[in-house]
Amino acid sequence: MKRITINDYKDIQPQGDTVLVLGYFDGIHLGHKALLDKARAIADQRGLTVTVLTFPESPRLAFTRFSPDLLRHLTSAERRFQLFEEYGVDQLYLTDFTSSFAATTPEAFIENYIKGLQASVVVVGFDYHFGNTRATVAELKELFDGEVEVVEEVQLNGEKISSTRIRKAVQEGRVVEANRLLGYPFETRGIVVHGDARGRTIGYPTANLAPLDAVHLPADGVYVADVAIAGQRYRAMASVGKNVTFDGTELRLEAHIFGFERYIYGEKITIYWLEKIREMIKFDGIDALMTQMKEDERRALTWKDHD
């Protein structure tokens, strides 16, 4: 897949007639996959390529009072690029959603971007909007003289699959639901750093993680997880939150990796969040904590995906 960052439409270097997918993809979920699958199928049928035009950061940054959450993603940029490639994208165009871009009229957007990219077919979701008037899919069909393919709402359990729904599930610790909506496990990538080394003294050494990407973290609690280290995957129990039993005040992200004893400080690892076991609890002492951790371990080691 070719990745091209542009400042505006003048930087576009068309690669020949293409099927163009439009939208913002924060966490490429099953709804987004439906768009990409549709585009790939049309492209294969007609001997065309698939191009995506999207934004590295949320368009809301150009309109909404800033909060740090606006810069957080469901899926890291690196993983999103991998998924675009896996789902059949040939060219990925990235441009920042600036005030200048937001001021583009629907007509200018079609002329400069859609036609500029030599789109013979445009694939969009049913709720896609564009241009400074937030023009609809119906207007796109009227204004664009090429073909427009509209992908209808994709649902799970009778409700629309959306980034907002997934974000809420993650923030409430419902990672099983988030994983089903994404179509792959929600993950956190980071570097292993030194912590308090308290886990080692109670027989549960943990890898403390400093997150590398601006991604959302799941709700505080203890989770069943898988951890990927140097291409190998291990079962683990992972926790997010303050170590309240020991009066901790800093947010900690750590994982006890079963059957793993090597020192891995400075290495990059990935935590795949599978299911929440329990909330973070303040225990009366080490014995109560150890009893609970043995139960957490049993649940983590016997966990199986319900699908």
pLDDT 10s digits, 60-78: 999 999 999 999 999 999 9
What is the spatial distance between Cα 93 and Cα 3, in angstroms, rounded to a whole number? 6
pLDDT at 12: 97
pLDDT at 283: 80
Query: Where exactly does CATH 3.40.50.620 map onto the chain?
Result: 2-160
pLDDT at 261: 87
Give tens-digit pLDDT for 76-107: 999 999 999 999 999 999 999 999 999 999 99
Q: Which CATH class is domain 186-302?
A: mainly beta
Query: Where exactly does CATH 2.40.30.30 map onto the chain?
Result: 186-302
Give tens-digit pLDDT for 158-179: 999 999 999 999 999 999 999 9
Burial track 85-101 (b if 16+ CB lie within 10 A, e otherwise): eebbbbbbbbbbbeeeb
Listed as ranges, residues in the chain with pLDDT below 70 are 197-203, 243-249, 306-307
pLDDT at 59: 95
pLDDT at 201: 53
Q: Are 276 and 219 in contact (CB under 8 A)?
A: yes
What is the spatial distance between Cα 60 and Cα 33, in angstroms, rounded to a whole number? 22
The pair phi, psi for residue 282, each rounded to 5°, is -90, 115
Q: Are 10 and 113 in contact (CB under 8 A)?
A: no
Superfamily of domain covering 2-160? HUPs (3.40.50.620)
